[in-house]
Structure 1
Amino acid sequence: MAHRILHLSDTHVSRTGPDEDGVDAVSALERILHDARHVPDLDLVLVTGDIADDGSYEGCVAVREMVGAYAAERGVPHVYTTGNHDDRAAFTRALGSGHLDAGGRDVGRLAGGSAGKRAAVSDVGGLRVITLDSLVPGSVHGELDGGQVAWLRGQLATPAPYGSVVALHHPPLHVDWAPFMRNDGLRDRDLLADAVAGTDVRAVLCGHFHLQLSGTMNGVPVWTTPGVVTRNDRTCPPDRIRGVLGAGATVVDLGGPFSPVFLTLHARDPRAGEQVYLVDAVSWDDVDED
C-alpha cells in the first residue's frame, strides 16, 4: 500500500506573524499551502519543527489552524515535531502530542519517561508515524536522550503493516564543507542510526537546515525538506549562510517501485530568491535566540 506525505518544516510564525528577520511567515505558509492544493491523494501533512519562531503558543495555534484547515479539506491527519525555536510548554498547550487527526483531535501516544518531551506515535492507514523531540532549550543543535532512543527501539521491535517513518527536527546528516550543518544538526547521530538499522523504517524526515538534503543512515533514507519561511541558499561561500525568500515543501511517496520518492515543491513567489540575510557560518549555538 502506498502513502503520500506533504512534508513541511520551519514555519517560524510568531505571535505577531513575522519571524525575527521580518519575513511574513504567515504569508509564506499560506502561499505554499495554496500552491500545494493540487497534490492528489495525500495521507498526511507533517511539519518537522520550528513551528513558532518565538516559541509562542499563539504562533503554534496560527500554524495549527492553517495546516489543520488544509488537512481537514482533504480528510487527513496533521503531525508536528518540536524544533529549536519551539517551547515545549507552548507546543504542548497548542498541539498536545503533536499528532492530530483530520478533525484536530489529539491521537498520539506519547513516549513514557521522557520528562515532558514530545516523542509520540500514531497510525496512518497502517503506516506508523513516530515523532522524536530533539529540542535542547537555548541551543541550536539537537540531541536525543537515552529514554527516547530506548522507547524508539521498543516501538520498532514489532513491524507495522506498512512500515514506519521517523520524524524529527534536527537532521542526522550533513555535508562536510558546510560547517554549520556539522555543528548544528543532531549531535547523537549514531544512537539514532543504530536504533533504526534493520527495522521497518522507510524514511527519516527532518527540517532545520532550510534546504533539501538527502542521504542514508545505516541503509535508511534520510530527507531534509526546505524551509517554509526562508530557504538556505548554498551558492554562497561555505563559511556563510544565506537566507532567501521562497517557501518550499516536499511530497514524500512511500510504496511503489521507486519508494521512497522525494519531490520538492517551490511556492510561486515573485520575490523568490531575494536575499534576507547573509551571516558567518559559525555554530549558531553561540547566538542567543531570545
Structure 2
Amino acid sequence: MRILHLSDTHLERTDAPNRHGVDATDSLRLMLAELRHQRGVDAIVVTGDLANDGAVEAYTILREMVGDLARRLGGTPVFYTTGNHDEREAFGKVLGSGHLAADGTDRVVSAAFPAEFGCAAVSDVDGYRFITLDSLVPGKVYGELGRAQLDWLRTELRTPSENGTVLAFHHPPLALDVPSQRAFGLRNPRELADAIRGGDVRAVLTGHYHLQLFGFLEATPVWVTPGIVNRIDLTTPYGTERAVRGASASLVELGGETGPMFHTFHARDPRAHETVYQLDAEQTRSIIERHAPAAQGK
C-alpha cells in the first residue's frame, strides 16, 4: 500500500489576498507537479486545513487540482479530512463524505456524515480500510475527537479489515516540547488510544504542525506530514515560531518486511526557506493564551 499524504493546503478564494504573502494555490501546484512521476500509488490522503477560510470555491479548486493528479496516477482514490480552518458545511457541499474516486464522485462505503460529530467515513482500497475522522472544534485551533465519534470508531474496528486500517485526521495525538504543539494538538489522545487498542490500525496520518514528525500512540505509528502552504522551522529559540516557504508532502508505505515506511518530498521552489512570518516569544505566548484551552494556555 503506497499512500501520498498531503496536508495544510490552506487554499483561498481567487479574490482573497495571499496568506502572509504566500500564494497557497501556487504552492500546491508546485508540489503536485513534483508528485506526477510517482508510480504504484494506491491512495492520496489530505489531512485537513484544506481551505483557509472555509470557502466553497477553495474546496472546489482543491478537488480539481488533486483530482487531476489522481487521474494522472491511474485513477487513485482521494481521502480528505477536516482541519481547524475548515468549515463542515462547505466541505460536505464539495467533497461529500471526503472519500472520492479520481473523477470526483463519492466512493464511501459507510459514513457518519452529516452527524453530530462531523465528517467521518470508511471505505476500502485493496484490502486496507481507510477511516477519516473529524477533529475540528469550530472556532478553536486545537482538536478533539468526541465520545460519539470514538464510539463509532470502536464499532468500525470490531470487524478486522483484510490488511488493516489507515486512520487519518488533522490534529496529531503527540507533540514535541514545543509550546504551540502542546497547546494546539489533539486534546484527548488517551481516549483515542483506548478506542483503537486491540484493533488493526496500521498507521495514524495527521498534519496541522506544518513539519514532519514521527512517534507512537502506544504501539501504533503516528506520522505528521509537513504542510503544503509553508513549513515551521524549529531552529528558532524556544518559545518562538518561524514559518518558511517550501511545500512538502509524504509517501507512506505499508506492508512488506520493513513497513511502515515514511518519506518526505520537497517541492523545488526558488524561494524555498525564505521567512514567511516570525513570532517572538511574547507573540507566540499571546496566541496560545487566546486560542488554547485555559489549562494548556497558562
If the TM-score is normalised by the length of the shorter chain, which range does it land in? over 0.9
Q: Rate the CA distance shift 1:284–1:50 in 2: closer, same or farther, 3 A.
A: farther
1:126-158 residue CA offsets vs partner (Å, 9 max, x unmatched): 110000000011100001111100011111111
Q: Secondary structure at the match of 1:204?
A: strand
What is the TM-score of this pair, normalised by structure 1? 0.95
Structure 2: segments with no counterpart, 5+ residues: 293-298
Provide the identity percentage. 53
Taking the aligned partners of 1:114 and 1:62, their CA distance within structure 2 comes to: 25
Change (3 A) 1:256 1:19: farther
Structure 1 position 65 matched with structure 2 position 68: no
Contact 1:134 1:143 in 2 (8 A): yes
Letter in 2 for 1:158: T
Return the offset for 1:203. 0.3
Please give the root-mean-square deviation of Cα atoms over the aligned residues, in Å. Answer: 1.5
Question: 1:159-193 deviations in whole A, cap 9, x for unaligned?
Answer: 101100100000000012x0110110000111111
**Alpha carbons of 1:129 and 1:19: their partners in 2 closer, same or farther (altered >3 Å)?**
farther
Amino acid at match of 2:52: D
The amino acid that maps onto 1:132 is L
Q: How much has 1:36 moved relative to structure 2? A: 1.2
| Counterpart pick for 2:284 among 256, 259, 281 | 281
Residue 237 of structure 1 deviates from its aligned partner by: 1.4
Determine if contact 2:252/2:261 at 8 Å carries over to the other structure: yes
Q: Give 2:22's aligned residue.
A: 23
Count of residue correspondences: 285
- Work out whether residues 18 and 26 of structure 1, in 8 Å CA contact, stay in contact via their aligned partners in 2: no
Query: 1:194 maps to what in 2?
Result: 194
1:114 Cα deviation after fit? 3.4
On the 8 A contact 2:113/2:121 being kept in 1, the answer is no
- Cα distance between partner residues in 2 of 1:128 and 1:110: 13
Structure 1 residue 46 displacement after superposition? 0.6
Q: Structure 1 unaligned segments of length 5 or more: list them.
A: none
Other structure's SS at 2:69 match? helix
Offset at residue 20 of structure 1 (A): 2.8
**1:1-290 counterparts in 2 under 5 A?**
3-16=1-14, 19-74=18-73, 75-108=75-108, 109-111=110-112, 114-115=115-116, 117-176=118-177, 178-279=178-279, 280-282=283-285, 283-284=287-288, 286=290
State how far apart, in whole Å, the 2-side matches of 1:99 and 1:285 are.
35
TM-score normalized with structure 2 length = 0.92
In structure 2, C-alpha distance between the alignment counterparts of 1:253 and 1:18, rounded to whole Å: 37
Deviations 1:251-283 (A, max 9, x none): 000011111100000001111100000123335
Evaluate the alpha carbon distance shift between residue 252 and residue 285 of structure 1 in structure 2; reply closer, same or farther with a 3 A threshold: farther
Query: Which residue type is aligned with residue 4 of structure 1?
Result: R
